[in-house]
Chain A
Amino acid sequence: GAVVSQHPSWVICKSGTSVKIECRSLDFQATTMFWYRQFPKQSLMLMATSNEGSKATYEQGVEKDKFLINHASLTLSTLTVTSAHPEDSSFYICSAPIWDSGPHYGYTFGSGTRLTVV
């Protein structure tokens, strides 16, 4: 089935540094990738939507200069957390829409990245 590979699975970084998270669609082309953030014991909150070849669209309250999203190809989308601070520590997950042989679709998720900023 359609798989999204997300790396790294966890990362620890110092305050003020930047961290890049990658999501690759392994056996399908992802023209769209959704990026979520999940705090402990909370639900997934959509941060932004990336589209191949165009600018990402951000949800209200998400700083686009802090969370840089690049969707350079049909199989790769990246999220860079710039000048990270402890409050950015969270679980970040990407997701891509997928279709079956008919009109039905779903969303497949990456395995997530646990970011800890110290």
Chain B
Amino acid sequence: GQQLNQSPQSMFIQEGEDVSMNCTSSSIFNTWLWYKQEPGEGPVLLIALYKAGELTSNGRLTAQFGITRKDSFLNISASIPSDVGIYFCAGHDGNTGKLIFGQGTTLQVKP
């Protein structure tokens, strides 16, 4: 079945540093979504990407939909302690209507 490879698996950074994570897929998606999940909570949508090549920002977050439609990255600039959590990429399969999730990137920020 479809798989998303998300990396890195975890990051431990200093407050103020920039962060970058990415996802690659063996197949094409028509939508890429980035979510953040905090302990004991459901995922919360951060950024949605609908067009190949699209670059979208949401505050300190920036994400891009790869030209090939098989990859996406998320950047967080000037990290702060409340950025701590697990970040998931998700690709939407237009044929089945399902969301396929990456394995997640656990982010820890040291004050």
Contacts and interface: CB of A to CB of B under 8 A. Distances in A.
Count class of interface residues, chain A: 20 to 34
Contact of B41 (A34, A107, A112): A112
Contacts, number: 49
B88 A106 contact: no
Interface string B56-75: 00000000000000000000
A110 B50 CA distance: 23
> Main SS of the interface on chain A?
strand
B45 A34 contact: no
Nearest to A113: B42
Interface stretch (A14-22, A41-49, A66-74, A81-89): A41-49
Given A106-B45, A109-B43, A43 B88 contact: yes
Contact of B101 (A44, A49, A111): A44
Contact of A108 (B40, B45, B97, B103): B45
Contacts of A64: none
Interface in A64-118: 91, 93, 95, 97, 104-112, 114
Interface of A: 6, 9, 32, 34, 41-46, 49, 91, 93, 95, 97, 104-112, 114
